[in-house]
Amino acid sequence: MLGSRVRTHRVRGRGGLTAMTAVALGGALVLAGCGGGGGDKKSSDKSKVEVFSWWTGPGEADGLAAMKADFEKNNPGTTFENAAIAGGSGTQAKAVLASRLQNRKPPDSFQGHAGAELLDYIKAGQIEPLNSFYDDNGMTKVYPKQLLDQISYQGKIYSVPVNIHRSNMLWYSPAVLKAAGIAGPPKTVAEFVADLKQVQAKTKKVPLSLGAQWTADHLLESVLLGDLGADGYNALWKPGADWSGPQVTKALGDFAEIMKYTSVEAASTDWQGASKAVVDGKAAFNIMGDWAYGYFIGSAPNGLGKKLGTDFNYAASPGTDGTYLWLSDSFTLPKGAPHRAGALAWLKEAGSKQGQDLFNPKKGSIPARTDADKSLYTGYLSYALQQWTNPSTKLAGSMWHGVVANNKWHTDIDTAVGLFLQSKDAAKLQKALADAAKNDAQ
């Protein structure tokens, strides 16, 4: 359930997801049940559905369009209203959503990362449990039990996962590495630092491309994982975790060193621009989630139409091979949804085999369901499925993408990273992160 203790191994077959949220939460919730409906007009209104997300970029927008078309075919007479707001990782969308929920003007369904990110909405009574929806649609049989545990609180399920993403991926330009005299992707953080130096010394290319500030947060979690290992990284999200210890000091020192070799336009470019620099041969490396793959191989006008093995290649981020730093996009049923029946129809689409197999190959992710058509997942996605289903693969929950840190903790980490980008002081960064852990862990 949400808040269960950290574990680092899979106990089921494919997708047997272990809970990653660090702390058990107390307190009771009084929320409207999904199956009730109450007989009001909203419960039966299927005239439209307003779906709120941050899927506006290449790959993700194409995947949403494919799922939307299937939804409209399956629900004639229901208007799909795409309320997506641009901004990588939902940086802009979440602020707009918070305002709407506070003013009791919720969309019919909104995107949220499975895990600790949903706790605020649950505790505020802003989303409904979906147990009866899962039972009515036979979904408990096709979702891994551990994933259902992760999106549950006090025995109630609160969202419908569409996919599984991997955060700790290193994308690189074979041509730039060759020009720099580097034989292959770095396997450790120390090798990564050495390769960054070599790219800078021997080429005129950017060693490591970054985008908006959140991409630095994203980089930070991979460096922490690379230096601390899965067990050490997972321990950071437990109660009383020591963020002031020497292992964290070393990891943050490595992070500070790596940041010296990042692109200067970082403050104004989102993840797409940073990732594109690699496949265009302007940068050697980019650490980004595997949604970048959908962008790289997708067709114009939204995709880049690049070729795996020629224009780009991939590896686990340095030091993290064998660990899946995971996250999952999911959709919710807000309490007071204006078109509740339309929202339930959308959730059925998002949770369906057809919907997920239409969406994920374009998005650059693998399905959350266990019964997907594996033949649709080729190239990198075939590798991702293999890694995800490998019993020896360790799991770690993404900090930045909502799995292990609640929203307050997430914000305080982002603030600490923002101040570091100005000061370049790793010691101050460590103190701020240690303070955040003490103040925000639940």
Q: Which two tokens stand for residue 397?
A: 């929950």
pLDDT single digits (tens) 306-352: 999 999 999 999 999 999 999 999 999 999 999 999 999 999 999 99
Any domain includes 34: no
Q: Which two tokens stand for residue 56?
A: 């506006």
Do 118 and 59 have their domain in common?
yes
3-state secondary structure of 369: coil
Strand (E) positions, 114-265?
152-153, 156-157, 160-161, 163-166, 169-172, 206-208
Q: Report, as an integer, the average pLDDT of 112-139.
A: 93
Do 78 and 177 have their domain in common?
no
Any domain includes 370: yes
Taking CA atoms, 79 is separated from 47, 68, 69, 120, in Å, by 6, 10, 11, 30
3-state secondary structure of 397: strand
The dihedrals phi and psi of 97, each to the nearest 5 degrees, come to -60, -45
Q: Which residue has the higher pLDDT, 285 or 61?
A: 285
Do 50 and 143 have their domain in common?
yes
Q: Which two tokens stand for residue 163?
A: 């996919």
Do 195 and 312 have their domain in common?
yes
**pLDDT surpasses 90 at 440:** no
Any domain includes 2: no
Any domain includes 21: no
Do 148 and 283 have their domain in common?
no
3-state secondary structure of 79: strand
Domain containing 296 equals 169-325+400-440
Please state the domain count of the chain. Answer: 2
Do 265 and 332 have their domain in common?
no
Do 68 and 81 have their domain in common?
yes
Do 354 and 314 have their domain in common?
no
Do 407 and 286 have their domain in common?
yes
Q: Other CB atoms closer than 10 Å to residue 305's CB: what's the count?
A: 12
Per cent of the chain over pLDDT 70 is: 88
Do 161 and 45 have their domain in common?
yes
Do 102 and 144 have their domain in common?
yes
Any domain includes 377: yes
Q: Other CB atoms closer than 10 Å to residue 286's CB: what's the count?
A: 28
Q: Report, as an integer, the average pLDDT of 283-289.
A: 97
Do 138 and 74 have their domain in common?
yes
Kindly indicate the confidence band of residue 115, based on its pLDDT and cuts at 50, 70 and 90: confident
Q: Report, as an integer, the average pLDDT of 110-117.
A: 91
Widest CA span in the chain = 70
pLDDT single digits (tens) 96-105: 999 999 999 9
Any domain includes 1: no
From CA 234, how far away is CA 267, in angstroms rounded?
A: 29
Q: Report, as an integer, the average pLDDT of 156-184.
A: 97
| CATH of residue 353 | 3.40.190.10
Give the per-residue pLDDT at 13. Answer: 33
From CA 224, how far away is CA 240, in angstroms rounded?
A: 18
